[in-house]
Chains A and B, each alone.
Chain A
Amino acid sequence: MCLGIPAKVIEIRKDNTGKVDYLGTKIKVNFSLIEDVKIGDYVILHAGFAISKLDEKEAQETLSLLKEFIDK
């Protein structure tokens, strides 16, 4: 099952594990599959691993696209 809602990174340890806040719940996560993760980043989780980072600029683009539909 894919979790579509991103989780916020709140802790990163030296061994590439850490914690995220997923809808208010703190979850242990392995960051080994992604590059350059920082505290405050949003990530997509799958089976205990972060598999992708959320690109906030692109997220804003999608929102702007949606707004265009209403304005038209």
Chain B
Amino acid sequence: MEINTLRNREFIVAILKKIQEKIKKINYSPKIMEVCGTHTMTIHKFGLRRLLKDSGVEMLSGPGCPVCVTPNEIIEAAIDLLSNHENLILATFGDMTRVPTRKGSLMTSTPAKGSFKKIIYSPEECLLLAKENENKEVVFFGVGFETTIPSIAFTVKKAYEEKISNFSLLSALWLIPPPLKSIVESKDINIHGFLYPGHVSTIIGKIPYEFIAKDYKIPGTITGFEPGDILLGINDILDQILEDKPSVTIQYKRVVKEEGNPKARSLMYEVFEEKDANWRGLGLIPKSGLKLKEKFSQFDAEKKFGFKIKAQSKDLKGCRCGDVLKGLISPLECPLFRKACYPESPKGPCMVSFEGACLAYYKYGY
């Protein structure tokens, strides 16, 4: 498939025209939340937020940035591990090392003797690290949504099968449907449609979103990452509004199947089970996170190193990432944005992560 076609100006103009015609019939400006952080990036990179606003559609960024929703207490626990334990390798994804907390960031922290942090691309790399460093403990600070969780489950299961004893997991694993329920139940905000995340949905399929259409009558579509995908998705949501038939459609059919990826899902639930979890901004959400099952508890870093993470969510003073993640404010309404918070000296994760709304606004304009 020619990706350029989905970026073709002629197509974009034609779909926008259709969108404008539909908005006239709807007679109000619908608020549509793009749940996924990579959608936020596409929307800004290609100037769609402005084009859509001028066409009568208001886009709101959602909670779909795993680095952003991870509360400071987990990052501080990672910093403590690295600073207090000798001969420990703390492996994690790049963005995670730059998130500022009251204890600094993983980047600025001073590792204990013989310890260091390691930025990795695939969770599986941790097992190689563990084998190459038998005298050190490798802790994987694993952060992610359903897209990433199966690869982490694969890694834990492999560690179990290969009896790798110097590997453990500090997990910040998040499920996407539960916070959407919190958002639609919140009285602070009225959302008329959801662009559901493309790659989370390759794993979970469309069924987990159906309660939003059935119980809350809000339209939605699973969409891809090209500008044409985003606009086709919005066009689909507008059709659902016009026909008064809220449902969950799949615009990104070339990649997402209705049933998702059962193989990846069964691996995920072989290794992990659901738990109540504390999200940045959104607070405690029932069954919205994952923890290792008893069979794999030997790989739980909290148990191995004898600490317990308590929900406290103390953000840096003035940082309003939490409200940005709920769609309550745009980054422009945060008093720190472009005044005290920059990509080089971020005050919160939304300015750090490549999926963060504040970075998207900063980098590409608005």
Contacts and interface: CB of A to CB of B under 8 A. Distances in A.
Interface of A: 1-2, 4-6, 30, 32-35, 44, 46-49, 51-52, 54-56, 58-63, 65-66, 69-70, 72
A66 B38 contact: no
- Chain A binding surface SS class: mixed
B254 A51 contact: no
Contacts of A52: 199, 202, 255-257, 261
Interface string B212-225: 00000000000011
Contact of B154 (A32, A54, A61, A66): A32
B198 A58 contact: no
A46 to B, nearest CB: 5
Given A51-B202, A52-B261, A4 B38 contact: yes
A33 B123 contact: no
A47 B121 contact: yes
Interface residues of B, number: 51
A63 B5 CA distance: 7
A33 B267 contact: yes
A49 B261 CA distance: 13
Contacts, number: 119
B226 A4 contact: yes
20 contacts: A2-B147, A2-B198, A6-B255, A30-B122, A33-B261, A33-B263, A33-B264, A44-B199, A46-B199, A48-B125, A51-B147, A56-B1, A59-B254, A62-B251, A65-B232, A66-B5, A66-B6, A66-B11, A69-B18, A70-B11
A20 to B, nearest CB: 13
A62 B2 CA distance: 11
Contact of B202 (A32, A44, A59, A61): A44
A60 B1 contact: yes
